[in-house]
C-alpha cells in the first residue's frame, strides 16, 4: 500500500494539475480526499503502479453508473440532468465510499486505469500522416496498452483542426476536433494513410462487447465530459465492425513476435499514449532496447508520451540509423497539441 502522506500529495496534484479547468467535481473531491484519512485508506488498496486518483474516482463512478442508489449521484453531471453544487458533495462521497468500501476495494484490486481516449487520435492522425509521407509505405500499427482498441482505428475517424476543412475518413460518424497551438503546424493528409495491420497488446484487453468491460471504460470518463462519452459510444460501434488483432500479455515481451507478423512492404509503427507512466523503469529500458534491436533489421517508428517526460516523441530506425524527434506537448484528452517536427 502507498503511504497516506504520499497519497495526499498525489490527490492534491491531481486536483490542481489535471482536473482544474476540466472537471470541477473531481477537482473538488480530490482536494478533499487529499485531506481525509478514511478516503486515503480506501484508495491505498489500488494495484501498484496505477494512477490512484483516476482509479479510485472511476471505481466510485462505476458503482454509481451501475445504479447504486445514493444522494451522491445527484452531484455527477453524467448521472443528473441538473447536478447539485459540488461544494456539498464530499460528505455524500465519503458516506458512499464507507458504505460500499469492500466493493470499491475489489475494483481497486482488480481493475487498471485503461482510459481508451479516442480524442487522442486528434494528435495521432498528424503523426501517422507525417510517417506515411516519410516512407510512402502503408502502415502496420502496434499499440502497447491498447485497452479496447479504439485508437487502433484512428484512420476510421474524421478530424477538424480549426476551420471548416475536415480530414481522414470523410464518411465516419465520428468527428474529432483538436487544436494545434503555436505557429508551427503539421502537414495533415486529407485522406487517411493506408493501414495493413492493427495489433493491440495489453495486460488486460477490454472487450467492448462485454458489459463489465464497457462499463469500466465508461467509468473512466470524467463526469462532465459528455462529448467524450458520446464519442466513446460511437467508436465502440466502429470497433465491433472491424477485425482487430488484440493480444493479452506484456507488450514489451510480445513486441518481437508481433513485428514478425508484418511484411517488409509495411512501415512498422509502435505507439502508446499515456501508458508508459504505468510501466516500470526497467521495462521502459527493455522496450527501448527491443525497438533498437528490431531497428537493426527493420525500419520502425516509435510514437509515445509519458515515457521519460510528458511530451510526445517520435523515434525511428531507418536503414539502421536512429533518429529521435520531439513532436510536442499534448492535452491528456487530445483537445490540443503543439507541433515541433
Q: Angle between the 24-33 and 4-13 helix axes, to the nearest 10 degrees? A: 160
**pLDDT at 4 (0 to 100):** 58
If phi over 0 gives left and psi between -120 and 50 gives alpha, with beta otherwise, what is residue 308?
Answer: alpha
**pLDDT at 3 (0 to 100):** 58
φ/ψ of residue 8, rounded to 5: -60, -40
* Global pTM value: 0.87
For the chain, the farthest-separated pair of C-alpha atoms sits apart, in whole angstroms, at 61
**pLDDT at 1 (0 to 100):** 55
pLDDT band at 175 (very low <50, low <70, confident <90, very high): very high
Question: Hey, where are the domains in the chain?
Answer: 4-110, 118-338
State mean pLDDT over 319-323: 95
Cell numbers that stand for 230 in this block:
458520446
**pLDDT at 285 (0 to 100):** 96
- 226-285 pLDDT, tens digit per residue, is 999 999 999 999 999 998 999 999 998 999 999 999 999 999 999 999 988 888 999 999
Q: How far is 214 from 189, CA to CA, in rounded Å?
A: 32
State mean pLDDT over 157-162: 95
pLDDT band at 6 (very low <50, low <70, confident <90, very high): confident
Chain mean pLDDT for the chain: 95
CA 52 to chain centre: 15
pLDDT band at 138 (very low <50, low <70, confident <90, very high): very high
Burial class (CB in 10 A: 0-12, 13-18, 19+), 296: exposed
Residue 37 to residues 3, 5, 43, 322: CA-CA distances in angstroms? Answer: 11, 9, 10, 49
Amino acid at each position: 500500500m502507498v503511504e497516506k502522506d504520499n497519497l495526499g500529495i498525489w490527490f492534491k496534484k491531481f486536483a490542481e494539475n489535471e482536473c482544474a479547468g476540466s472537471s470541477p467535481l473531481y477537482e473538488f473531491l480530490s482536494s478533499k480526499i487529499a485531506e481525509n484519512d478514511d478516503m486515503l485508506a480506501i484508495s491505498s488498496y489500488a494495484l501498484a503502479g496505477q494512477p490512484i486518483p483516476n482509479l479510485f474516482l472511476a471505481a466510485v463512478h462505476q458503482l454509481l453508473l451501475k445504479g447504486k442508489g445514493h444522494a451522491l449521484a445527484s452531484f455527477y453531471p453524467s448521472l443528473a440532468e441538473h447536478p447539485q453544487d459540488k461544494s456539498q458533495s464530499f460528505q455524500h462521497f465519503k458516506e458512499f465510499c464507507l458504505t460500499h468500501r469492500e466493493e470499491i476495494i475489489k475494483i481497486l484490486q482488480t481493475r487498471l486505469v485503461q482510459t481508451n481516449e479516442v480524442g487522442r487520435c486528434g494528435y495521432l492522425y498528424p503523426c501517422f500522416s507525417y510517417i506515411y509521407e516519410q516512407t510512402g509505405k502503408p502502415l502496420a500499427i502496434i499499440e502497447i496498452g491498447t485497452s479496447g482498441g479504439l485508437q487502433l482505428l484512428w484512420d476510421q475517424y474524421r478530424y477538424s483542426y480549426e476551420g471548416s476543412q475536415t480530414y481522414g475518413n470523410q464518411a465516419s460518424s465520428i468527428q474529432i476536433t483538436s487544436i494545434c497551438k503555436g505557429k508551427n503546424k503539421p502537414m495533415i493528409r486529407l485522406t487517411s494513410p493506408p493501414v495493413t495491420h492493427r495489433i493491440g497488446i495489453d495486460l488486460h484487453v477490454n472487450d467492448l462487447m462485454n458489459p463489465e468491460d464497457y462499463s469500466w471504460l465508461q467509468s473512466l470518463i470524467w463526469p462532465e465530459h459528455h462529448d467524450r462519452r458520446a464519442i466513446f459510444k460511437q467508436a465502440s460501434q466502429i470497433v465491433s465492425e472491424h477485425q482487430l488483432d488484440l493480444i493479452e500479455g506484456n507488450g514489451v515481451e510480445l513486441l518481437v513476435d508481433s513485428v514478425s507478423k508484418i511484411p517488409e512492404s509495411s512501415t512498422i509503427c509502435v505507439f502508446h499514449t499515456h501508458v508508459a507512466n504505468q510501466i516500470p523503469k526497467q521495462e521502459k529500458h527493455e522496450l527501448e532496447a527491443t525497438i533498437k534491436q528490431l531497428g537493426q533489421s527493420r525500419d520502425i517508428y516509435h510514437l509515445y508520451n509519458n515515457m521519460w517526460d510528458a511530451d510526445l516523441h517520435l523515434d525511428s530506425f531507418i536503414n539502421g540509423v536512429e533518429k529521435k524527434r520531439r513532436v510536442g506537448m499534448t492535452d491528456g484528452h487530445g483537445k490540443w497539441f503543439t507541433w515541433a517536427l
